Structure 1
């Protein structure tokens, strides 16, 4: 007889109790577990998304800068790999947001996740009228309430521990601020989550489920370059730091990433650009663009090409909990078992 994929299964009573805590989130997603895959550009594509959904979690395609035709191809390719539900993450600032929403609807995507800002009411209305469930990111309680009034069917609250573009508040604080007050729609927590015990704690606080990104980068099915995965496996929580801004006159959108030669060179680039501005060699608007364009294409260089010295290694602080490459189903089952074991221990 083959050995179980994940040994030391928790008691059936604990798994049933965990199912009960996850019931609202799992029902909303249509998945076995209330665990969403965080949408990571160049990583959250057909292979990882389908693998997560097949494993009982809920995969989410990262549309990023894709055009509608390209997104349609990715949706169809994902549907060929899984019969399970999955979602699509759309950036609200995309110039063809309305067309992207329609592309999702045309291909029967059941969940549309709006990220990167407050989605326009027209996009929410179109998604809902087309039969999709709308998920929005809420960085504060007042905005969470506004989004629910605007039609959001569920919310994600993402703390500053997350990878990529981040807000200023930790998940620990956001959860205390928002979870007790938003009960009429499911609220998923995100940012710095890498183990099942943490998922359980937030479920007990009232979360409907959790979203994890960094933990899934090193899934076997992830197409991330071997160099990119090795950087995550070697990385510690203290290595994933937000972008440093040198001058408040030239704002830098904070991005949490593993430090490398590129991040150090970005500081030099900012300093030199600011020097040129002060010397009258470049206008302020042009200087701001030079700073903003430094990282153009940097994430693709790291994820796809494997240039981990000059590319962007966007990672959450949970990167320290990534220790090896594993199949997605094994990672998901580990998270579930950790949560159930913790629940069994608490209940004696």
Structure 2
């Protein structure tokens, strides 16, 4: 993990993936304080809200942490400026190719830029653009997902690019043995989200955590795109009434497109705002029937609520045992 820890400045190269409403000051600071690397999920936050969240996180930890920004956010450049004001050391750009000038703006502030790469061609393009590291995330992950499995992405991208930039593997990781296998393939570290949802320090509603503890891998299903015109990125979540409500929401937005009430960009934002609201209902309010229970397929390996430090210690111990045995 040496390259990963050198880039992140953490003790272990295990990133806690940015999960809207879950990855806030409490969980982020707990992960960084325990030796991992926490990421604030900016999601649909305004620059003012992000400003407060970064300040509150800095009050809880002196260790490095980063901020995850969505590339399609209409105020992306303002959010980058907020991060620069606070001296945020690492910014992760997610949700599509970074818009013109965004990588340069982040680098100008002295921060490291980490981008998601869902395919080898895009990974190469991002490396040429000057990113400092990549995250390759497979479809087993929770939340917004790409179409390719983690193991396939790792085989495609690590042999080609691992020598050029540090690469973190994400999607479906629940145990240390699989972390060890990706490190042996050339990864600099990993990113996990689902394993941290039920951390004691996570502010997720007790009912949200119970849903995770009860679930198994096959309960985490990907949403279906019902209109080819709508650029809907599939979302993996635990099946509930909210899953069906999303299908209805897509129909409603498609009709708005038909009637000329919204353009494509507005339609996409409408979908994103839906997810943000549905997720908040589940995570914060505990409405596990109608809200969105975004979860990766590793949810079956979440069996209890425990402190972040215990989760990290277990993963590291498993990885070390596997590496020593090989």
The TM-score range, normalised by the shorter chain, is over 0.9
Aligned-partner Cα distance in 2 for 1:118–1:250: 18
In structure 2, the partner of 1:283 is 258
Aligned-partner Cα distance in 1 for 2:306–2:221: 25
Decide which moves more: 197-206 or 290-299. Answer: 290-299
Candidates 13, 29, 38, aligned match of 1:59: 38
Q: Structure 2: 5+ residue runs without aligned partners?
A: none
- Aligned partners of 1:233 and 1:323 also within 8 Å: yes
Q: Within the alignment, does 1:312 sit opposite 2:292 as a pair?
A: yes
SS in 2 for 1:89: strand
Q: Which structure has the larger Rg over C-alpha atoms?
A: 1
TM value normalised by structure 1: 0.87
Decide which moves more: 83-92 or 287-296. Answer: 287-296
- Aligned partners of 2:106 and 2:113 also within 8 Å: yes
In structure 1, the partner of 2:225 is 245
In structure 2, the partner of 1:188 is 168
In structure 1, the partner of 2:324 is 344
- Aligned partners of 2:146 and 2:233 also within 8 Å: no
> What value does the CA root-mean-square deviation take over the aligned residues?
2.2
Decide which moves more: 251-260 or 154-163. Answer: 251-260
Q: CA deviation at 1:251?
A: 5.4
Q: CA deviation at 1:246?
A: 3.6
Q: Within the alignment, does 1:71 sit opposite 2:79 as a pair?
A: no
SS in 2 for 1:326: coil
- Aligned partners of 2:20 and 2:276 also within 8 Å: no
Aligned-partner Cα distance in 2 for 1:97–1:250: 22
Candidates 94, 116, 123, aligned match of 2:102: 123
1:116-163 Cα offsets, whole Å, 9 max, x none, are 111124111111111100000111111111111111000000000111
Q: CA deviation at 1:173?
A: 0.5
In structure 2, the partner of 1:212 is 192
Candidates 113, 135, 145, aligned match of 2:114: 135
Q: Structure 1: 5+ residue runs without aligned partners?
A: 1-21
In structure 2, the partner of 1:332 is 312
SS in 2 for 1:312: coil
Q: CA deviation at 1:102?
A: 1.1
- Aligned partners of 1:31 and 1:57 also within 8 Å: yes
Q: CA deviation at 1:267?
A: 4.1
